[in-house]
């Protein structure tokens, strides 16, 4: 995949990893929850799923695996 085709990526934050939009720099939000402080594998999976043409299909498989998707993030 060419680098310009990547829409979401991850970066280290003080509590783990953050998923962000590479075009705007904005932190990704799913169901009003900022995608910050995640484990690296969780953040990578979210970034990959958000980067697909149909993100809800990609995120559907994550719901039972990652509890963070169901509970609001804590600051």
Domain boundaries, the chain: 3-67
pLDDT score of 47 more than 80? yes
CATH class entry, domain 3-67: alpha beta
On whether the CB atoms of residues 8 and 21 are closer than 8 A, the answer is yes
Write down the residue that tokens 């402080």 correspond to: 37
List the alpha helices (DSSP H) in 1-75: 40-50, 55-60
Mean pLDDT value of segment 9-33:
94
User: How many helices and strands, by DSSP H and E, does the chain display?
Assistant: 2, 4
pTM over 0.85: no
Mean pLDDT value of segment 28-34:
92
């Amino acid at each position: 995949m060419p680098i310009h085709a990547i829409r979401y990526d991850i970066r280290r934050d003080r509590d783990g990893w953050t998923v962000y939009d590479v075009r705007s720099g904005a932190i990704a939000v799913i169901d009003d929850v900022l995608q910050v402080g995640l484990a690296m594998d969780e953040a990578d999976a979210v970034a990959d799923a958000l980067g697909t043409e149909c993100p809800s299909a990609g995120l559907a498989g994550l719901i039972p695996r990652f509890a963070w998707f169901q509970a609001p993030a804590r600051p």
